[in-house]
Amino acid sequence: MQQGCTAENWENITVADDFRPGHVLQTDFYGEVTLGSFHKTIEVDGFVKHSGIRRSTLRNCIIGNDCLIENVGCINTTSGASFGEGHVVSVLNEVGDGNVMIFDGLNSQLASLMVRHEQDREFTAAVRRLITKEISEHSLSITTIGNDVRITSTKEITNCHISDGCIIDGALRLRDCTLKSIPSAAVNIGVGVICINSVIYNGSTIANAAKLENCFVGEACKITDGFTAENSLFFANCYMSNGEACAAFCGPFSASHHKSSLLIGGMFSFYNAGSGTNFSNHAYKMGPMHWGILERGTKTASGSYILMPARIGTFSVCFGKLMHHPDTRKLPFSYLIAYGDDMYLVPGRNLTTVGLYRDIRKWPRRDKREKTHGRNSIINFDWLSPFSVGGIMVAKRTLEALREVSGDVATYNFHDYVIKNSSLKKGIKYYDIALRIYMGAVMKRHRLEHPKSAVGTGKWSDLSGLLIPQSEEIRIVEAVKDGTLGSIRDIREEFVRANDNYSEYRWAWSYRLICEYYGISEITEETAAQVHQDYIQARRAWIAEIRKDALKEYELGDIDKAVLDDFMAQLDQETEWENLKYDM
C-alpha cells in the first residue's frame, strides 16, 4: 500500500522467502500471483536499473527472480489457455485440415515428417498423441515469467510461458505464446510486435511491428520490419522482413528481405526470395489449395512468379513468370527462365556460378544458433550428397535420353520448357563434373572398404536439413505407428542417430555409384587412384567455370577490381583441398 500497490486479495499473493517489497511499485494484483525475489540490477539501453515490478498489472501468473517488469498494461491468464502449443496449422495447402501440430519441442525434421506423411492417418494420429502427451507433461496452466526476464512498455501479455532471459520491449500483444528463451540466447520481442498462438525459440528476434499468428519460429531466426505471417513455420536461421508468409514451411536459412514478396503454399530451405517474389496457389477455381516444393538451395529472382502446383529441383534459380506448373526435380541446379510466353530451362547452369560457390560456404558460417545447450533442428550442410547427386544422376540420364530420342536438333522440349542444344550439351558436361567431384570427395572422406551395411543404397530424402535414406525415414514412420517409438524424445533420438550414421550411409550409396560409373564390381586401390585423378580434373574444370562467371560479372563495370582480385585469390587456394584426405 505504501508503494502504491493494490490487490484484489492480498492472501492470494505468494512471495519468495527472500522477497523484499521495496522494488515493487504502483502495481495492481488480481487473482493468484507468485513473486520471486528482486536483488540484481539489469542493464537497459546502456544504463542500469534495479530489477522489480513497476507500473504494471498482474493477474494469475508466476514471476521468477530478478525480472524487470515496467509499464506493462497487463500480464494475465484466462481460461482455456494453450500457451501456443497444440494448435494444428495447415502449411502448404492453405485451406487444408492442418498437418503440423506446433509445440515446445518441434524441430524441422519432425515438422517435415508430419507434412510428408500427412495422408497416413495412422501416423498422423500417433504422432499427435505423442505431442499431446508431451505438452501435458511439461506445460503449466498459468502464465509463467522465468528468471532475469525484462518486460517493458508492453500493452498485453496473456496466456504465455516466457523462459529465462527473455527480453520484451514495446510489444503490443502476446497472447497464447511460448517464448523458449535461454540466458545465452535470449528471445527478443520488439516494438509494435503482435504474436498470437505461436512458439518462438531461443536466439530469435521478432521486431519492428512484425505480426505472427499460428506460427512456429525456430532457433536464431529474425522476423522484422512489418513482416506478417500466419499458419507458417520458420526454422533455424531464417530471416524475414517487410513481406508476408502464409501456409509456408520455411526450413533452415530461408530468407525474404523485400516488400511485396509473398511466400505462400510452399516448402523452402536454404532459400532466398528476390524482391517481388510471388506464388499463386489458386491454380483454377477450387480455392487456394495448391502448393509446391522448392528443394534445398533454390532462389527466385526479383519479380519471380511460380504457378502452383510446382516442384523445383535442388539449387535452381527461377526468373520471370513461370507458368505450366514447373516440375524440374529431374534437372536440379538449373536456371528456369520465362521470356513472355516462352519458358526456357538451362540444365545444370547453377553448378558453375559464383552465387552457388558463395552460398555453400556462407551457410555454415552464418549458423547463429547457440551450441552449448544442444541445437533443436539438425542441419547437414553437404551440397553434394546422395540426395542432390541422386538428382544429378537422373538429370544426366534425362538429357542423354532427350538427345538420343530427338537427335542433334536446335531445341528440346521438357515438360513445356525449351532446352537449347548448347544448353543440353553443357548440362551433360556440368552434371558429369559434379558427379566426379562428389565421388572424389567421398573417397577422401572414407576408408577404402566394403560398406558395412546396405542402409543408404536406395533413394534419399532431405527432411528440412537432415539428409537421410528414405528407408530410414519410412522405418521411423512405421515405428511411430506401431508404438516402438513411444515419445517425442524417442523420435528425435532417431533423427540424431540417422545424422550420426550419415557418413556410413553415404559411403554405402557412393560405393554403388562409383562401381556403376566406372563399370566395376568393387573398388580397388587402382580405381581409387583413378577416381582421385578424375576428381582433381573435374574440380579444376569447375573452378575454371566459376572464374569465367566472376569475370563476366566484373565486366558489367560496377565491381571494384580489388573485390574481383580477392575472389580470384580465394579460388587460387582451392588447389590446397585436392590432396587433403580425412575420415568423416
Q: What is the pLDDT of residues 246-299, one digit of tens each?
A: 999 999 999 999 988 999 999 999 999 999 999 988 766 767 888 999 999 999
Closest of 165, 169, 139, 147 to residue 157, by C-alpha: 169
How confident is the model at residue 583, as a pLDDT?
47
How confident is the model at residue 543, as a pLDDT?
94
- Region 414-434: mean pLDDT is 96
Give yes or no for a contact between 98 and 90, defined as CB atoms under 8 angstroms apart.
Answer: yes
Q: Tens of pLDDT along 542-576?
A: 999 999 999 998 888 888 999 888 988 988 888 87
Closest of 40, 42, 45, 43 to residue 65, by C-alpha: 40
The cell 550442410 sits on which residue? 381
Share of the chain above pLDDT 90, in %: 87
Strand 68-76 to strand 88-89: parallel, antiparallel, or no bridges (unpaired)? unpaired
Q: Tens of pLDDT along 146-158?
A: 999 999 999 999 9
**Residue 562 identity (one-letter amino acid):** A
Predicted confidence (pLDDT) at residue 56 exceeds the cutoff of 90: yes
How confident is the model at residue 584, as a pLDDT?
40
Predicted confidence (pLDDT) at residue 240 exceeds the cutoff of 50: yes
Q: Tens of pLDDT along 355-395?
A: 999 999 999 999 999 988 779 999 999 999 999 999 999 99
How confident is the model at residue 572, as a pLDDT?
86
CA gyration radius, the chain: 27
Q: Which three cell numbers stand for residue 307?
A: 504457378
Q: Tens of pLDDT along 442-464?
A: 999 999 999 998 999 999 999 99
Strand 417-420 to strand 411-414: parallel, antiparallel, or no bridges (unpaired)? antiparallel
Residue 261, SS3 per DSSP: coil
Share of the chain above pLDDT 70, in %: 98
Predicted confidence (pLDDT) at residue 73 exceeds the cutoff of 50: yes
pTM for the full predicted model: 0.95
Query: What confidence category does residue 581 fall into, taking pLDDT thresholds of 50, 70 and 90?
Result: low
How confident is the model at residue 555, as a pLDDT?
87
- Region 330-338: mean pLDDT is 97
- Region 102-117: mean pLDDT is 97
Measured CA to CA, the distance from residue 306 to residue 409 in angstroms comes to 29
Closest of 170, 144, 18 to residue 81, by C-alpha: 144
**Who contacts 357 (Cβ-Cβ below 8 Å, separation ≥6)?**
546
Q: Tens of pLDDT along 335-355?
A: 999 988 889 999 999 999 999
Predicted confidence (pLDDT) at residue 45 exceeds the cutoff of 90: no
**Who contacts 377 (Cβ-Cβ below 8 Å, separation ≥6)?**
107, 108, 109, 218, 219, 235, 236, 252, 464, 465
Predicted confidence (pLDDT) at residue 504 exceeds the cutoff of 80: yes
Q: Mean of the per-residue pLDDT values for the chain?
A: 94
Give yes or no for a contact between 550 and 354, defined as CB atoms under 8 angstroms apart.
Answer: yes
* Interaxial angle between packed helices 121-138 and 488-500, expressed in degrees from 0 to 180 and rounded to the nearest 10: 110
Query: What confidence category does residue 505 fall into, taking pLDDT thresholds of 50, 70 and 90?
Result: very high
Give yes or no for a contact between 102 and 82, defined as CB atoms under 8 angstroms apart.
Answer: no
Q: How many helices (H) and strands (E) does the chain have?
A: 10, 40
* CA distance readout (Å), 91 to 112, 287, 404, 483: 10, 15, 41, 26
Measured CA to CA, the distance from residue 552 to residue 59 in angstroms comes to 64
Predicted confidence (pLDDT) at residue 320 exceeds the cutoff of 50: yes
How confident is the model at residue 282, as a pLDDT?
79
Residue 436, SS3 per DSSP: helix
Q: Tens of pLDDT along 183-236?
A: 899 999 999 999 999 999 999 999 999 999 999 999 999 999 999 999 999 999
CA angle 204–116–107, rounded 5-degree value? 25
Predicted confidence (pLDDT) at residue 50 exceeds the cutoff of 50: yes
